[in-house]
């Protein structure tokens, strides 16, 4: 356990950041899963409506450093390619 005052604060900060990061990563996963399930159900129009949401979450995550820029670009590219191939 942390001993110094600054170490205790750093620990508190890391816990807050961890919970926030985990929630954002979970949101990314759930959105991608939802889009994939819509595409598999042949509901491409609904999947296309979710696309801006997916882009926004991925861009924000890459901007803050939660995921790398190329990872976000790859995920966006693959999900768009999936939707376009099924429509």
Q: Please give the pLDDT value at position 48.
A: 94
Dump pLDDT digits (tens) for 43-78.
Answer: 999 999 999 999 999 999 999 999 999 999 999 999
Residue 9 domain-assigned?
Answer: no
Question: The tokens of 1 are what?
Answer: 């356990």
Residue 1 has pLDDT above 80, yes or no: no
Is residue 4 situated within a structural domain?
Answer: no
pLDDT class of 86 with cuts at 50, 70, 90: confident
What confidence score (pLDDT) does residue 56 get? 97
Neighbours of 83 (CB within 10 A): 20
The pLDDT confidence band at residue 2, using thresholds 50, 70 and 90, is: confident
Q: What does the block give as tokens for 48?
A: 């296309």
Residue 79 in tokens: 């999900």
The answer to whether 33 and 3 are in contact (CB under 8 A) is no
Asked, for residue 86, whether it belongs to a domain, the answer is yes
Does a structural domain hold residue 83?
yes
Query: How many domains would you assign to the chain?
Result: 1
Residue 19 resides in a domain: no
- Domain holding 86, by residue range, is 44-87
The pTM of this model reads: 0.88
């Amino acid at each position: 356990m942390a001993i110094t005052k600054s170490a205790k604060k750093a620990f508190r900060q890391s816990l807050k950041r961890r919970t926030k990061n985990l929630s954002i990563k979970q949101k990314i996963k759930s959105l991608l899963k939802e889009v994939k399930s819509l595409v598999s159900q042949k509901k491409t129009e609904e999947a296309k409506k979710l696309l801006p949401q997916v882009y926004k979450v991925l861009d924000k995550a890459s901007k803050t450093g939660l995921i790398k820029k190329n990872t976000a670009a790859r995920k966006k590219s693959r999900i768009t390619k999936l939707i376009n191939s099924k429509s």
